Amino acid sequence: MISIRNVVKTYGSGDTAVHAIKNATIEIEKGEIFGVIGFSGAGKSSLIRCVNLLERPTSGSVVINGTDLTKLSQDQLRQARRKIGMIFQHFNLLSSSTVFENVAAPLRLNKTPKEVIRKKVTELLELVGLAHRAQAYPSQLSGGQKQRVAIARALANDPEILLCDEATSALDPQTTESILDLLLDINKKYNLTIMLITHEMHVVKKICDRVAVMEEGGVVETGTVLDIFSRPQQMTTKNFIRSIFDDQLPEGLLDRVHHVPGSRLVRLTFIGESTGHPVLAELTEKFQLKPNILFGHITQIKDTPFGYLVIAINGDSTVLDKAVDYVKQQGIGAEVIEHV
């Protein structure tokens, strides 16, 4: 659906050149919610703006449904962009137009008949829960309501793709939740492909199917959100996951574990059904171990329960090896993070 191939974006030239995207390749499937996460300056905004050519890549291609946008004429590009809606962190609404007129704007540009516009805008405002504010002006709305208007406007031309540039970064946590729920809703209802950029792992955890992690202009890791949470490879990814659950154990606690010879610290990860598995009881029953829980967290990644436990076990090393293997056979991730 969206193929970002070897995209490079350099601003300026010579000594002052900024290499915002060094070489990014991402494939996004139809109907998927794909997140790009990275710290400030990683190149996320530049990347998402290259998808609809708000920024033209310095090299590389952006292929949407088989068409390379970088090869289109201005007129063809205008046509192609109709199928790509976009929302922004600061909403970008027309302040002197009503909510109705903001949503109608893209349709008026296409010279859509008045009656069709009235019907479509009414439908969209109902979808985003703002039918009763059609005659209000943006200044009379809350941030969440403004973003709802922006979403309605982005959907006016029945796009196949919605690009979200830090769409919830200016909103409080509760409003963020409701906007993310709305995005999930429209993704399901219209099988809309959504690409979003964010610096909040919470956003990725709640709505994304897959995620790419960006660092210094490059994509350093890509995978399903469950994979990324259960087996993060890069330090940046681990740091983002720590913003959701910080498994750094306090020094004092580690010291105590370090004083018990033959101890192992094991990180267990439970996904889906395995969250219901009484594995600690089994370690006691089958291996006569006495697991000591040092850290635990259970959460939901999109629709799937995800649990995370750090335990200390000690005993004979052959028994500990067998116990760890047994846990893995039960479909539970088990990674020995420290031997004492």
* Residue 24 vs 128, nearer CB to ligand ATP: 24
CA separation for the pair 123, 129 (Å, rounded): 10
Residue reference for tokens 């979200």: 164
**Nearest residue to 192 via CA among 33, 62, 49, 86:** 33
| Residue ranges of E strands in 189-262 | 193-198, 210-215, 218-224
Minimum distance from CB of 235 to ligand ATP (Å)?
A: 17
Least CB distance to ligand ATP at residue 79 (A): 26
Closest to ligand ATP by CB, 43 vs 57, is 43
CA dist., res. 24 & res. 21, Å (int): 7
Q: Between residues 12 and 66, which has the closer beta carbon with respect to ligand ATP? A: 12
| Residue placing its CB nearer to ligand ATP in the complex, 18 or 293 | 18
Rounded Cα distance between 180 and 300, Å, is 15
User: Closest approach of Cβ 62 to ligand ATP, in Å?
Assistant: 15
Q: Considering only CA atoms, which of 71, 87, 79, 91 is closest in space to residue 5?
A: 71
Q: Cβ 199 to ligand ATP, closest distance in Å?
A: 6
CA distance 27 to 178: 28
35 or 38: CB nearest ligand ATP? 38
Binding site for ligand ATP (CB under 6 A): 11, 18, 20, 38, 40-46, 199
Query: How near is the Cβ of 133 to ligand ATP at its closest, in Å?
Result: 30
Nearer to ligand ATP, 46 or 314 (CB): 46
Strand ranges in the chain using DSSP code E only, listed in sequence order: 2-11, 18-28, 33-38, 59-64, 67-68, 84-88, 161-165, 193-198, 210-215, 218-224, 263-271, 292-301, 304-314, 333-339
Shortest reach from residue 169's CB to ligand ATP, in Å = 8
**Closest distance of CB 26 from ligand ATP, Å:** 14
Q: Exposed/middle/buried for 60, CB within 10 Å: 0-12, 13-18, 19+? A: middle
The CA-atom distances, in angstroms, between 208 and each of 35, 88, 302 are 6, 18, 7
Comparing CB distances to ligand ATP, the nearer of 18 and 337 is 18
